[in-house]
Amino acid sequence: MPPLRLDSPLGDVLDDKVAKALTKAFGMARVGDLLAHYPRRYALRGELTPIASLTVGEQVSIVAEIVSVSERRMHNRRGSLLEVVISDGEGQLSLTFFNQSWRMGELRRGRRGMFSGKVGEFRGGKQFAHPDYQLFDDLETAAQTAQALASRPIPVYPATAAVATWTIAKAVEGALDGLGEVDDPLPDDLRRRHALLPARTALEHIHRPSVIDDVAPAQQTLRMQEALVLQAGLLQQRAAVAALHARPRPAGELRESFDARLTFALTDDQASVGEQIAADLVAERPMNRLVQGEVGSGKTLVALRAMLQVAESGGQAALIAPTEVLAAQHLRSIAAMLGPDLSAKLIPTLLTGQMPAADRRRAALRVASGQSLIVVGTHALLSATTTFADLALVVVDEQHRFGVEQRDALRAKGTAPHVLVLTATPIPRTVAMTVFGDLDVSTIRTLPPGRAGIESFVAPLAEKPSWFGRVWDRAAEEVAAGRQVFVVCAAIDVDVDEPGDAPSATDAAASRPTWGVAQVATLLSQLPRFAQVRIEILHGRMPSDEKDAVMRRVAAGEVDLLIATTVIEVGVDVPNASTMIVLDADRFGVSQLHQLRGRVGRGSVPGLCLLVTEAAVGSPARERVEAVAATLDGFALAEVDLELRGEGDVLGAAQSGARSSLRLLRVVADADLIAEARDEASVLLADDPQLTAHPGLRDAIERRLDDDTRAALGKN
């Protein structure tokens, strides 16, 4: 058999059953995937795993010693039950096998091995459900083998109930044994400068280290490989977009007359970001830019000025919002900002999936004919039936709800339109580099002057249950003062099961939220203080025209208190809203809370944010809430978010699942490494854009992109 390559199919080295199981469990398709499945940790034969440290519900593999084996007849059914107790010297854990007496031959007292299963609880003790094990050689035999072997660390792989860690270890052994030459993704010179290992050695050392000290240098090498492949891939992607031809769109009268209408001056940041965008739009390559700025920092305005610039030459702009409510609101505020004359020229048009068919057809026609120069919608704008006469600019509001593939799909609707992505979620530098490495990034740091500011408080019901009443007192006071109040719930109705609009960051609480929109509505309707208050509700299960009507009434000041789910999270602009009350605040992520808070204090009215939580002092959930109350700095909160939630979530959210997750690389801990890799990659690509002289790197990028595509298609 010819030597294996990293891109050989798994079936070349494993039997079908194992290959299929690995594909099903981890999405592995090739030998390279298997070898990139790195051990989670290493066990030593001599060291037992502390049983007390195991968490119920976890799938784990531990090293332990058998302390007793017993068999008994079953009372209520036929057959026998074999009970094996294993121990780490202190704690104990039991394994039970039904009708498997034959195992008594090998499961003998005093033997050690690796045991694997899902940690369960039975009568106060821990036990393994579906136990699985692999015994070490008897101690005497082990003593006879070379000492090197006895001290060899055992890799413990991320495993599932269907695929045990030793099954993976065995598969990896086979792959390593059969593996031929590996083209190194790291150029020789880079490897030497950073004192890293050859690729082949790194793989050997991470999967089958002779001693535990082999592991760290191997990880360091593989981390650099990962960073370099990622950065070089992103830079190539960026170069590919840059190589497309775009029609230059110089600004003219339209933008001028818009600027003349403004009753305020642009902030310095708005002006400078505006200049960057203006320059991008007159270039012959498509713009590919991310603008990040706090809620209310004036991003929409910046985007609108870009739309006016492309409209000058008859180019259309499409604005994609994450929800129908927001699309409708964007349309309204754009029309208001444009004023009657410009609106008549540009015909801003709403086009969403839930519009009545006749309206929708009319809107689609205006878009296809090129009559409407500004089109606002949701993902429906991506549908194959929407055609544009001359799509020049795509503005995506809130990148974290919008994946890379969708961006590409829209891009395909124009001949290389310019792309502008807006996000109010501040993105730490390394995340930006990792996830949005193909975009140019601009930042609006300052808010327009004249904002009255926001005060934030935590209402900690765990210690101070009476504060719950005071929260509603405050709400009533604000309404009495003529202000508007938002109440945000983590659920629509906690009395019915619903996947609904529940927020995503709910690591802490496996329990259900305490308050749903329905329950709050009932509560407030019973409080005499609220008898005269105009209360409405808003959530994702309402028909879109109803949602829209509610938002319209809120914007018009006809609603005093709105009880909603996170559908109001982004973009809602009600200058008279003073108060944001978030119930079960611990069930929301840091940046989500920050965004919600940004809904109030947008005008000259001072904002008040009350974060209501039952989470106990010191719990991670509580820490998140406290962190948000402690600062208004979105960038600082983004860092906190990254630390508290773990970057998997942050990356996952930021990229809408498009890029498969990082393996060894950690965006916070490896910030410097990522920056270095980016520099190295840009030097390499400057000399050799196709990486002809670096086939190892080129192939690794290809494999990675392929993984991403598969991940995006959900095929793994």
Q: Where on the chain is the footprint of ligand ADP (CB under 6 A)?
A: 264, 266-267, 270, 293, 295-301, 448, 573
Query: Per CB under 5 A, does 221 bind Mg ion?
Result: no
| Residue 267: contacted member of Mg ion, ligand ADP, none (CB under 5 to 8 Å, by partner type) | ligand ADP
216: which residues sit within 8 A by CB, 6+ positions away?
none
Rounded-to-integer distance, Cα 484 and Cα 578, Å = 6
Q: Looking at beta carbons only, is 267 or 406 nearer to ligand ADP?
A: 267
| Residue 456: contacted member of Mg ion, ligand ADP, none (CB under 5 to 8 Å, by partner type) | none
| Of residues 260, 223, 232, the one with CA closest to residue 38 | 223
Minimum distance between the CB of residue 374 and ligand ADP, rounded to whole angstroms? 15
Minimum distance between the CB of residue 566 and ligand ADP, rounded to whole angstroms? 16
Stretch in the footprint of Mg ion (CB under 5 A) among 60-68, 260-268, 294-302, 443-451: 294-302
Rounded-to-integer distance, Cα 431 and Cα 591, Å = 14
Find the helix or strand (DSSP H, E) in which 202 lies.
Answer: helix 199-207
Q: Looking at beta carbons only, is 5 or 445 nearer to ligand ADP?
A: 445
Count of residues interacting with Mg ion (CB under 5 A)? 2
Minimum distance between the CB of residue 648 and ligand ADP, rounded to whole angstroms? 28
Q: Looking at beta carbons only, is 288 or 300 nearer to Mg ion?
A: 300
H helices then E strands: how many in the chain?
A: 24, 20
Minimum distance between the CB of residue 645 and Mg ion, rounded to whole angstroms? 24
Q: Looking at beta carbons only, is 300 or 442 nearer to Mg ion?
A: 300
Minimum distance between the CB of residue 299 and Mg ion, rounded to whole angstroms? 5
| Of residues 24, 34, 27, the one with CA closest to residue 4 | 34
| Of residues 555, 558, 559, 594, the one with CA closest to residue 572 | 555
The answer to whether 376 and 356 have CB atoms below 8 angstroms apart is no
Query: Per CB under 5 A, does 514 bind Mg ion?
Result: no
Per-residue binding string, Mg ion, 467-496, x by CB under 5 A, is ------------------------------
Q: Looking at beta carbons only, is 39 or 298 nearer to ligand ADP?
A: 298
The answer to whether 227 and 670 have CB atoms below 8 angstroms apart is yes
Of 165, 270, 300, 430, the one binding Mg ion (CB under 5 A) is: 300
| Residue 174: contacted member of ligand ADP, Mg ion, none (CB under 5 to 8 Å, by partner type) | none
* Paired tokens of 319: 């604005």
Phi, psi (deg, nearest 5) at residue 483: -95, 170
Q: Looking at beta carbons only, is 573 or 702 nearer to ligand ADP?
A: 573
Rounded-to-integer distance, Cα 157 and Cα 36, Å = 11
Stretch in the footprint of Mg ion (CB under 5 A) among 38-46, 209-217, 300-308, 482-490: 300-308
Q: Looking at beta carbons only, is 262 or 617 nearer to ligand ADP?
A: 262
Minimum distance between the CB of residue 570 and Mg ion, rounded to whole angstroms? 7
Minimum distance between the CB of residue 319 and Mg ion, rounded to whole angstroms? 10
Q: Looking at beta carbons only, is 324 or 398 nearer to ligand ADP?
A: 398
Minimum distance between the CB of residue 576 and ligand ADP, rounded to whole angstroms? 12
Q: Looking at beta carbons only, is 473 or 633 nearer to ligand ADP?
A: 633
Q: Looking at beta carbons only, is 119 or 632 nearer to ligand ADP?
A: 632
Rounded-to-integer distance, Cα 94 and Cα 104, Å = 15
The answer to whether 140 and 91 have CB atoms below 8 angstroms apart is no
What DSSP state is assigned to residue 266? P
Q: Looking at beta carbons only, is 263 or 692 nearer to ligand ADP?
A: 263
| Residue 513: contacted member of Mg ion, ligand ADP, none (CB under 5 to 8 Å, by partner type) | none
Query: Per CB under 5 A, does 231 bind Mg ion?
Result: no
Beta bridge partners of 43: 154
Binding residues for Mg ion restricted to 559-618, rule: CB under 5 A:
571
Minimum distance between the CB of residue 398 and Mg ion, rounded to whole angstroms? 8
Full DSSP string of 2-59 = PPB-TTSBGGGTS-HHHHHHHHHHH---BHHHHHTS--SEEE-TT-PPPGGGPPTT-E
487: which residues sit within 8 A by CB, 6+ positions away?
475, 520, 561, 562, 563, 564, 581, 583
Q: What is the dihedral of CA 368, 370, 375, 380, to 10 degrees?
A: 10
Rounded-to-integer distance, Cα 243 and Cα 411, Å = 14
Beta bridge partners of 113: 64, 135
Minimum distance between the CB of residue 194 and Mg ion, rounded to whole angstroms? 43
Query: Per CB under 5 A, does 406 bind Mg ion?
Result: no
Q: CB nearest Mg ion: which residue?
A: 300
Residues that bind Mg ion (CB under 5 A): 300, 571
